[in-house]
Amino acid sequence: MRLGFIGIGHMGRHMARNLVRGGHDLAVYDIRREAADEVLSLGATWADGPRAVAAASEIVFTCLPEPRDVVEVATGEGGILSGASAGTAYFDLSTTDPDTIRQIAGAAQDQGVQVLDAPVSGGTGGAEAATLCVMVGGDRATYDRCKPVLDLIGDKAMYCGGPGSGAVCKIVNNVIGPSVG
């Protein structure tokens, strides 16, 4: 399958590595090209921006630091939506809020692009070992179709409901996480 990954940082580099090792063609982009050196050495290809990643991919992933970064990369000039075609699935793995993902999903709807929020829990160790919990909100059929790819990122991928539901689950996870145990 043709995959794309934007945001090859502390978490993203491990997830991108696992996607390449899973046998998929992977186009990558980061604001710092050197961040992608390892996944490029494993066979990923460099894309010149979010639009190029989306144009080369059936499924696009982002793992970005702030909700405003997610909005800009998805909907800004040269963003994912400017390069994505109908049928593309876009999973945001970042920790964001439900309103942000719903805003992006609304912008993508007319293009036939499915936007799913899929924040992760498990830290960099979980990202490296592919044992993350992936909490997914969005279209159920798209989740089901893409679950084998999500399983390369984490062994606990779960469908949580409509758009924004993954973000809600992640917020709850962050609130109760420290008090459990």
To the query of whether residue 170 is one of the catalytic residues in this protein, the response is yes
Q: How many residues does the chain have?
A: 181
Q: Give DSSP secondary structure letters for 128-179.
A: HHT--EEEEES-HHHHHHHHHHHTTT-SEEEEEESTTHHHHHHHHHHHHGGG
With tokens 């920790």, the residue in question is 95
β-strand pairing of 133-137 with 120-121 = antiparallel
Helix (H, G, I), strand (E, B) or coil at 60: strand
**CB under 8 A, 24+ apart: contacts of 105-108:** 105/138, 105/163, 107/74, 107/75, 107/81, 108/74, 108/81, 108/84
In the set 170, 171, 177, 181, the catalytic residue is: 170
Question: Residue 75, CB half-sphere, CA atoms under 13 Å: how many?
Answer: 15
User: Which secondary structure element, helix H or strand E, spans residue 9, and what is its range?
Assistant: none
Residues annotated as catalytic (active site), given as ranges: 170
